[in-house]
Amino acid sequence: MKLVVAVVRDETAQALCDNLSKSGFQATKLASTGGFLKAGNSTFLIGLKATEVPQVLEIIKQTCPSHKVLKGDLTLSEGSLKSAASDHNRHLPNEVVLGGATVFVLDVEQTMKF
């Protein structure tokens, strides 16, 4: 048994929920906040068989493309990003590449449902 932990942009979170569900995978979506930009993102917990990991990684890869955010773009839709940028103004690079997903694959010793 494995646990895939995937941090994705909020903008792609609903599509990821839908695509995982369509393919028969159960997932839990947690509201989370990036430590650097302090903008909201979503963290998925996906419990699955080891043999299913490649399929889930492919779904995540296809659903969550990476996204470049330029300093000048921070006034656009990402409201929380804008305020994060003002907090971090001196440290924020001109261009931040928000990965489509940051993924961790962990071994699970035991799983149970009561």
Distance of CA 109 to the CA centre of its chain: 24
Amino acid identity, residue 98? L
Min CB(51)–ligand 2BA separation in Å: 26
Min CB(23)–ligand 2BA separation in Å: 23
Euclidean distance between CA atoms 73 and 75, whole angstroms: 5
H-helix segments, 4-114: 10-22, 53-63, 79-87
**Residue 79 binds ligand 2BA (CB under 6 A):** no
**Residue 48 binds ligand 2BA (CB under 6 A):** no
Instruction: Note the residues at the interface with ligand 2BA (CB under 6 A).
Output: 7, 34-37, 39, 41, 93, 96-99, 102
